[in-house]
Structure 1
């Protein structure tokens, strides 16, 4: 074996020894749980962003896909976000749920609908679009922070007057 090869083997052995000795005795396992929706919604609100429960990602304030209505747990389109293309008679049951709305109030809403068949989206504190629980309506293309935060449970796209 040549002197060069002997030197190279000695150097590689020394590097391997240093790496083994400097490695931590135990490494913490990588987190596997998705972040809790409530914690991420609060973080998003504090940082002026939106937490999208469905895709598990942070988005810009007021982010709302075209053709949908979006409800936010924070003022000015921040915090947790739930969005729908159509009406939903019970936010806490069915195919699409809004988990943070079980305990957190809606603070703001954006109607990014694009169908001229509907003038707005009416929202309710009760399920099943009960008229006595209607607390507001957001016209198509509008967005805003609510005057009074509310625990909402349903919403309905409407063809009549909104306001």
Structure 2
């Protein structure tokens, strides 16, 4: 079940965030994420966050305006539809979505491409000095065909 974030979810969301970053971004020193932990922990409640609750939080998507600031799924629940369900929840709320993904994180790049996102630019992330892609999805609501139709 996908539901809105509750303050009681914060510890589990942060655990998934840290582990997910360390697993997906082995090309970045893990201290980078540990140093940003407190900032992210403070920002999570300020964002729109949905969690996948399957007898406990197994994944989440954080959205700021129409920007996906984070999509993370617990390792044992990946490739089972959780990420897709969370992105679809975000698609229900917006006509357009954006997300940055590290270019070396090919699993994430391929996932977002499979969800009808398109790469619109490439740049260097100033904090990590790694190449990242900006992807966009235009969403057409209440239709069965179209780029990111729901």
Same fold (TM over 0.5): no
The structure having more radius of gyration, on CA atoms, is 1
Q: What is the TM-score normalised by the length of structure 1?
A: 0.27
Q: What is the TM-score normalised by the length of structure 2?
A: 0.28
